[in-house]
Amino acid sequence: MKENLIVLAVLGYGCHLTEALKKYLLEVAFFVRWSNQNSKIIIITSGGFTNHTSAPSISEAKMMADFLKDYVFCDILLDKSARTTRENISGIHRIIKTKKLDPGEIFIFCDRLRKAKVKFFAKREFEGIPFSIITHDFQKGWKSWLKQIMATPLTLAGFYLPVLYKMEILLRKRKMIKS
């Protein structure tokens, strides 16, 4: 009988364990605790070294995995290279393929305002694998909300126009150096 594998993909939002990030990760732990006991769960945390100044040697993925290890008893795999939502999803897909995982379903944990981007990229990367998106509200105010609303169409267009994607990466690198 084939084992029912569930992959929880946890996207990172900074290298500092803020109260909002703790709450987000506790939602992941709660999901693991109350999920189907007949399923094997593997968590993949995704996020790179995005705070070069304030946390130069800490990846989002490792910081989240270290926190979750105190609350869950399942395998946690790390994608420490992702800088963007697109890279989060492609990195998670790469790990699933590299480790030869065969999930029955993927649950993606992400920021509420990034849900459209996550869904867009997940449809392309996880073709044939059912996935669900579980959101958390990280936005601090109308400025961050507006920024995400304006950035989403450009990010999605970058999928079809590589020059826009390269611009996104350059802007992200600049932001990482400042933070």
Instruction: Tell me which of 142 and 28 has the higher pLDDT.
Output: 28
pTM: 0.87
pLDDT at 160: 82
Confidence band, pLDDT 50/70/90 cuts, at residue 179? low
Q: What is the pLDDT at residue 44?
A: 98
In what side-by-side order are the strands of the sheet with 39-46?
75-79, 39-46, 4-11, 105-111, 131-136
Tell me the average pLDDT across 21-46: 92
Say yes or no to pLDDT of 3 above 80.
no
Position 1 confidence tier, pLDDT thresholds 50, 70, 90: very low
Topology adopted by domain 4-178 = Rossmann fold (3.40.50)
Per-domain residue ranges of the chain: 4-178
What angle (nearest 5°) sits at the alpha carbon of residue 164, between those of residues 159 and 166? 95
Share of the chain above pLDDT 90, in %: 62
